[in-house]
Amino acid sequence: MKKITLFFFAFLLLLSCSNDDTSNTRIYVEGIIKTSHPANEIELKLVNEERTISSTKLESNGQFVMSGPVFSGNTTLISNQKIKMFSSDKQGLQISEDSLSIIIPSTISYLKFNEIQLAR
Partner 1 sequence: MKKISILTFLLLSILGFAQRKNKKALDITSNLEGKFVLSKAIGDNNLAKNYKSFYGFGVGGQLMTPIQWGLGLDYTLQFSDAKYGRENYVGNLGSTKLTSVDLYILHKSNHGEDFHLEKSIGYTYYNMSSSIYPSKDIHTEGKGGINAGLKGIFTLDREERQQFTLGLKAHYYQAGVYNENKDIQKFYNKSFLIGLHFGYRYNF
**Binding residue for partner 1 (CB under 8 A) from 28, 62, 74, 100?**
28
SS3 assignment, position 38: coil
Separation of alpha carbons 30 and 27, rounded Å: 10
Separation of alpha carbons 67 and 29, rounded Å: 6
**Residues that contact partner 1, how many (by CB under 8 A):** 37
Q: Does 25 bind partner 1 (CB under 8 A)?
A: yes
Backbone CA torsion sign across 75, 76, 77, 78: negative
Q: Does 80 bind partner 1 (CB under 8 A)?
A: no
Q: Does 13 bind partner 1 (CB under 8 A)?
A: yes
Q: Does 105 bind partner 1 (CB under 8 A)?
A: no
Give buried/exposed letters for 58-88 (b at 16+ CB in 10 A, else e): beeeeebebebebeeebbbbbbebebeebeb
**Is the CB of 82 or the CB of 112 nearer to partner 1?**
112
Binding piece for partner 1, criterion CB under 8 A, among 16-24, 31-39, 74-82, 97-105: 16-24
- What does the binding site for partner 1 look like in residue numbers (CB under 8 A)? 3-4, 6-7, 9-11, 13-18, 21-28, 46, 51-56, 64-69, 108-110
